[in-house]
Amino acid sequence: MSDDRLDLDDFGDLIERSDGDVRRAAEERRARLGPPAGALGRLDELAEWLTAAQGAVPVRPIEAPRLVVFAGDHGVAELDVSARPAGSATALARSFLAGESPGAVLARQAGVPTRLVDMALDCDPDELPTAVSAHRVRRSSGRADVTDALTREEAEAALRAGITIADQEADSGTDLVVLGDLSVGGTTAAGILIAALCGTDASVVTGRGGGGIDDLAWMRKCAAIRDGLRRARPVTGDPVSLLAAVGGADLAAMTGFLLQCAARRTPVILDGVVSAACALVAQRAAFRAPDWWLAGQASGEPGQAKALDRLGLDPLLSHGVAVGEGCGALLALPLVRGAAALAAELPEQKAEFTGTAARHDLLDAT
């Protein structure tokens, strides 16, 4: 990839399909296990997805998962489109770092280490640990309904930060990423991206967000997405320009992160509407990339449903968890771990004395 202008189309060549031969070998091995076909439901499908991603049969157990959460404030929140006041994501970040937020609690319960990445929180970077703000691009993102969320240079910097973080996770041995977001106004930015890339109207993708906004706030949010959509449509052919116009630094970083995870063959569980929007942008750059992602849950956000349908991803759970921070994806993690354990540890059954032909052989012998 060029060291100057970032071209996401390069990922179209870098990202390969997950290994189809390995998937077929996993299917053949599954046929030799004890439980009959269909008895394990989607756990078989999960095991085959993970096997293809790992490129090994039998699948290896998930031993080093990691929750990675990208954080940022969005200027569009000034329009009162969120349950929380504009610029208040820093308080959410502090709660997460203190282990007192929903994502932190669920990650601790699951034994999953966490990483919070501040890309554009509305605070002085010195207010947070250096490791958290090391990749920050700016303080909050611009109001996407009337101006660009980022400059082109800031969008490229955020994408490169996401790529770097994906490399760091892969190099450190992370074998599965649980992806989360932490923001105020992020679901509005996500709605603009999804509406633009799916060619639909604002009302189709506008949800209530993680805080369950009232009807008036929903109408303001719908209007903000409609206005942002007018600015997004002329640049849908260029993912970098699209993220600069209406995305924001945290969403741009998540997009780069997803693309590089796919390039490094690191499987990812998506969470809610924000990660789905970033996945949709990444798919526009590299159509093979969704092979490496799993939809952990249906959050109840209409924009997420639209994006996942376009991506061809079927959520594992449907509990309406819209709080962000990777919570829904964390709840899906035990299913993925269970599928891997069953595929790895169930013994293959011996062929003798099984099936009609074997029973006839036994009768002939007597």
What DSSP string runs through 204-265?
HH---TTTT--HHHHHHHHHHHHHHHHHHGGGTT-HHHHIIIII-HHHHHHHHHHHHHHHTT
Amino acid letter for position 229: L
Say if 244 falls within a structural domain: yes
Confirm whether 1 is domain-assigned.
no
Are 100 and 234 part of one and the same domain? yes
Q: Which of 154, 325, 345, 348 is catalytic?
A: 325
Examine the domain organization and report whether 40 and 138 are in the same domain: no
Name which of 136, 134, 135 is nearest 122 in CA terms.
Answer: 136
More confident residue, 91 or 209: 91
- What integer pLDDT is reported at residue 357 of this predicted model? 44
pTM for this entry: 0.91
Q: Do 28 and 119 fall into the same domain?
A: no
Is there a single domain that holds both residue 176 and residue 213?
Answer: yes
pLDDT mean across residues, the chain? 91
Same domain, 140 and 256: yes
Query: Who's near 345: CB < 8 A, 6+ residues apart?
Result: none
d(CA 42, CA 316): 8
Helix, strand, coil percentages in the chain from 3-state DSSP, rounded to 5: 55, 10, 35
Same domain, 17 and 104: no
Query: Who's near 42: CB < 8 A, 6+ residues apart?
Result: 316, 335, 339
Domain identity same for 147 and 49 = no
**58-88: per-residue pLDDT in tens?**
888 999 999 999 999 999 999 999 888 898 9
Same domain, 169 and 190: yes
Answer yes or no: do 248 and 357 share one domain.
no
Number of folded domains that form the chain: 2
Residues 29, 153 share a domain: no
The CATH number covering residue 122 comes to 3.40.50.10210
Q: In what order do the strands lie in the sheet with 176-184?
A: 114-120, 65-73, 176-184, 268-270, 293-295
Domain assignment present for 309: yes
Q: Which domain holds residue 160?
A: 65-337
325 is catalytic: yes
Chain segment 149-160, per-residue pLDDT in tens:
999 999 999 999
CA nearest to 193, candidates 294, 93, 304, 28? 304
